[in-house]
């Protein structure tokens, strides 16, 4: 082969590798998200262009869509509650927690009819709770504290977004929900009996990745987390700007966004390193959830928690 032809072939290969037609570039990381105040860092990162093209947010309407995407293999990663992660793992999909997005600190709440003053007043009452999600865990933990059993209540399995309508129709006496539904119920006369401030470091929203894909997706996962923490930094340092952007996206008032933000703790990098450490809080809570969900029939078999957390994808050094 002549030297000129050889150089031409090398140039063609270089152009193909650069992403021009004919290249075999890896598709972007598919990350499931849905509207929730704890995930807004990712939406902000996308809005400002802080997510590289190695990452694509797959936006759904509810957490169940992300769960389904993980289960069916359409998503590589997703933001879900810790109990949702365990449910997916119980179906044979190996997941690893690579970040804690938020910790509930009042966001999850039990709302009840006026006149009820304690959890004991729920005996025999119709309580709406979404058994396939975090509200079920919230209710079980609250009942444990009150010395009650689920059988003491009349459980109404109902998606959270339907609680407001059921309340108006008089079909339920109490709701296990979260913002903004909790505030809507409050405007309709509901009172707060219990919230997640009484369950510190218990209800986590986490970012998980399919463990079998994580090894080949390391650069994209690091890009994802770099974008997350940059979005979180903007929320903290440019609070008013972030609030108005979130309010516009969620089509709610800025005051509603401020109230929602006051009910969650958004861990920074150092807090994430502590949470994801071996035998750290995430592993502890997951082990406790494993037992609770198995006992209450929310899991059919215990989940193998080996390798649950991996802090190696977190940013290294200053952000």
Comparing CA positions, the residue from 51, 56, 96, 53 lying closest to residue 75 is 56
Strands 191-195 vs 29-33: parallel, antiparallel or unpaired? unpaired
The dihedrals phi and psi of 23, each to the nearest 5 degrees, come to -80, 165
| pLDDT at residue number 113 | 96
Q: Are 104 and 194 within 8 A, CB to CB?
A: no
User: In this structure, what DSSP letter does residue 319 have?
Assistant: -
Helix 82-90 to helix 281-295 angle (10° resolution) is 60
Burial class (CB in 10 A: 0-12, 13-18, 19+), 258: middle
- Cα gap 253→260, rounded to integer Å: 11
DSSP string, 17-71: HTT-TT--PPPPEEEEE-S-GGGHHHHHHHHHT-S-TTEEEEE-SSHHHHHHHHH
| pLDDT at residue number 317 | 67
- Cα gap 117→3, rounded to integer Å: 87
Q: Which two tokens stand for residue 270?
A: 């150092």
Q: What average pLDDT values come out for the chain (319 residues) when binned by 10 residues? A: 45 42 71 95 98 96 91 97 96 97 95 95 96 90 94 95 95 92 90 93 95 96 98 97 95 90 96 96 96 92 94 84
Comparing CA positions, the residue from 204, 200, 184, 191 lying closest to residue 259 is 184
- Cα gap 250→39, rounded to integer Å: 12
- Cα gap 160→128, rounded to integer Å: 8
Q: Are 122 and 174 within 8 A, CB to CB?
A: yes
Between the CA of residue 197 and those of 75, 76, 138, 143, what are the distances in Å? Answer: 32, 32, 11, 15
Q: Are 64 and 133 within 8 A, CB to CB?
A: yes
User: In this structure, what DSSP letter does residue 196 have?
Assistant: G
Instruction: Catalogue the E-assigned strands of the chain.
Output: 29-33, 55-59, 77-81, 95-104, 108-112, 126-129, 154-157, 174-178, 191-195, 204-210, 264-265
| pLDDT at residue number 141 | 93
The dihedrals phi and psi of 154, each to the nearest 5 degrees, come to -105, 100
Alpha-carbon dihedral sign for residues 241, 243, 245, 248:
negative
Q: Are 129 and 155 within 8 A, CB to CB?
A: yes
Between the CA of residue 180 and those of 24, 139, 185, what are the distances in Å? Answer: 44, 18, 9
- Largest alpha-carbon pair distance within the chain? 91
| pLDDT at residue number 25 | 67
| pLDDT at residue number 26 | 74
Place of tokens 């957490």: 63
């Amino acid at each position: 082969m002549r030297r000129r032809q050889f150089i031409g072939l090398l140039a063609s290969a270089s152009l193909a590798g650069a992403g021009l037609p004919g290249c075999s570039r890896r598709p972007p990381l598919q990350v499931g998200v849905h509207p929730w105040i704890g995930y807004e860092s990712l939406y902000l990162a996308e809005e400002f262009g802080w997510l590289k093209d190695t990452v694509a947010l797959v936006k759904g309407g509810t957490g169940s869509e992300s769960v389904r995407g993980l289960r069916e293999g359409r998503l590589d990663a997703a933001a879900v509650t810790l109990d949702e992660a365990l449910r997916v793992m119980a179906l044979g999909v190996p997941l690893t927690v690579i970040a804690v997005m938020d910790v509930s600190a009042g966001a999850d709440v039990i709302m009840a009819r006026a006149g009820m003053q304690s959890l004991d007043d729920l005996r025999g009452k119709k309580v709406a709770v979404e058994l396939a999600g975090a509200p079920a865990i919230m209710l079980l933990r609250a009942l444990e504290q009150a010395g009650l059993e689920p059988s003491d209540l009349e459980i109404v399995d109902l998606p959270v977004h339907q609680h407001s309508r059921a309340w108006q129709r008089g079909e339920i006496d109490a709701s296990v929900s979260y913002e903004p539904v909790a505030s809507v119920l409050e405007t309709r006369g509901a009172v707060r009996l219990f919230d997640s401030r009484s369950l510190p470091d218990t209800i986590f929203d986490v970012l998980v990745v399919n463990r079998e894909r994580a090894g080949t997706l390391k650069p994209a996962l690091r890009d994802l987390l770099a974008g997350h923490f940059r979005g979180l930094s903007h929320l903290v340092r440019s609070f008013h700007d972030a609030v108005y952007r979130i309010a516009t996206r969620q089509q709610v008032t800025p005051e509603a966004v401020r109230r929602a933000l006051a009910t969650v703790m958004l861990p920074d990098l150092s807090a994430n390193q502590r949470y994801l450490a071996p035998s750290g809080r995430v592993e502890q809570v997951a082990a406790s959830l494993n037992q609770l969900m198995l006992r209450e029939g929310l899991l059919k078999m215990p989940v193998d928690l080996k390798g649950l957390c991996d802090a190696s994808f977190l940013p290294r050094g200053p952000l």
